[in-house]
Amino acid sequence: MNTPSELKYTKDHEWVKIEGNIATIGITDFAQSELGDIVFVDVDSVDDDLSAGEVFGSVEAVKTVSDLFLPISGQVTEFNSELEDQPELLNTDPYGAGWIIKLQIADGADTSELLSAEEYQASIG
């Protein structure tokens, strides 16, 4: 299972790449492998201010739909529009072309709940 060490992770299987006050967020390699073939990504929260733990969208696979939970409080500023025509990017390149949203991190947002790659690996066994 691919778990890049430069990223942070959540118990809900999202990954976070923080650059300054912008966070890029997607789902982990483990999550996409558990979901199977992803056929649709729904994010209707662009420009919304959301708190950590709130649902910012969903991913639909052949057999299931899974909510996406925001790992850090902030404003959703961008949705990866490539996913509209190519939702399978979440399967083929979850840490690259398969990113889902970009987030303007809220002032004072708590990042203490984010896991290191090692902690995330331990949580999924």
Rounded Cα distance, 36 and 91, in Å: 8
Rounded Cα distance, 53 and 119, in Å: 19
Contact 59, 68 (CB under 8 A): yes
CA 120 to chain centre: 14
How many other C-beta atoms lie within 10 A of the C-beta of residue 7?
21
Consecutive 10-residue averages of pLDDT for the chain (125 residues): 94 96 98 97 96 97 95 98 97 98 96 96 94
**Which string of DSSP letters, residue by residue, matches 89-105?**
HHHH-TTTTT--EEEEE
